[in-house]
Amino acid sequence: MSEVSLLTIAYTEDSLPIASLEQRLAAMKQWGLALEIANRGTVSVESYQQVEVSIAAVQAYLMHDFHPLHYDPEHRHQAICHVEETLTLAAQLHAPRIVTVCGFGHHLADRPFERSLEFFARVAGRAKALGVRILIEPLSPKRLGAMAHPEEIAQLMTCLNQPEVFSLVLDTGHLLDSGFVLADFLSTWPHPVEELQLKGRNSAPPDMTILSPGWLAALRTRPSVVCVEHRQPITWERFEAIAKRLQQVRIAWSEIKPDSHLSN
């Protein structure tokens, strides 16, 4: 398998301009992009099974409310249920991975590292059985009061010691909100990264600097997925400008011979 084929370029469905699902899927197909979708408990599997657009990942989106660091034990239990449901949904959609977080907010339970470790170790068996990988994304301290530094997530991966199940997401928006300089951080980050999400500060759409193909050469490890994600709405004109730049990223990727990459 060539390195070019290992790169999936995706866009989160929630970040696309307001339109029907059919229009959004048509745009993805036109630009050769995969889709990353959010599981809020209402996903219609049939709606996505009938289209020629691949699903790069499914986000366990309800972890904004139910997560392993929640102070309420019932919410922590619901987090297990939601992640297992998201794993099942991903398998039904032939999505190879789900995106999770350790927590959200600042009113948290004690022992955040230990609770995160116990939580993800518990759902590993379900992921293995379904053949779906679990990605863990570090948020910024603006979003989460613990486990917000990428190195803490890397340490969590080491303790889980199941690289066939777990991997890491890095998000440029959360890195910027954490005070990192992107070029410096990405060029020195030593750990495997399966997905790199592109957005600006405070969940803004990525500007053309973030979308520049130049940062690819600086990465020490090669992600399998590059995905645009943002919370602020955009027009179709802005989307097309981003999609054009993503095509440049795809071309630049084909010209890079990385020292290492992730195999799925």
pLDDT in tens, 108-147: 999 999 999 999 999 999 999 999 999 999 999 999 999 9
Instruction: Tell me whether residue 114 is in a domain.
Output: yes
pLDDT digits (tens, 9 = 90+) for 232-252: 999 999 999 999 999 888 887
Q: Is 264 contained in some domain?
A: no
List, for residues 13-43, the tens digit of each pLDDT value: 999 999 998 999 999 999 999 999 999 999 9
Instruction: Say whether pTM exceeds 0.85.
Output: yes
Q: Compute CA distances 90 → 55, 59, 97, 148, 167, whole Å.
A: 8, 9, 7, 26, 16
Looking at the chain, how many residues does it have? 264
Strand partners, 36: 12, 57
Instruction: Give Cα separations from 233 to 9, 67, 119, 238 (angstroms).
Output: 20, 27, 33, 10
Tokens 């981003």 belong to residue: 242
Residue 260 resides in a domain: no
Q: Does residue 259 fall inside a structural domain?
A: no
The mean per-residue pLDDT over the stretch 256-264 comes to: 47
Mean pLDDT of the chain: 91
CATH of the domain at 81: 3.20.20.150
- How many Cα atoms sit within 13 Å of 101 on the Cβ side? 28
pLDDT for position 260: 42
Instruction: Domain count for the chain, please give it.
Output: 1
Domain contains 136 = yes
* CA-to-CA separations, 57 to 11, 41, 48, in angstroms, rounded: 10, 15, 13
Domain of residue 156 covers: 3-254
Distance CA 62, CA 131 (A): 22
Residue 153 tokens, joined: 């997530």
Indicate whether 41 belongs to any domain. Answer: yes
Contacts of residue 104, defined as CB under 8 A and 6 or more positions apart, other chains included, come to 63, 64, 65, 67, 139, 143, 144
Weakest mean pLDDT among 77-81, 92-96, 150-154, 257-261: 257-261
Does residue 202 form part of some domain?
A: yes
User: pLDDT tens digits, residue range 45-54?
Assistant: 988 887 789 9
Domain membership of residue 262 (yes or no) is no
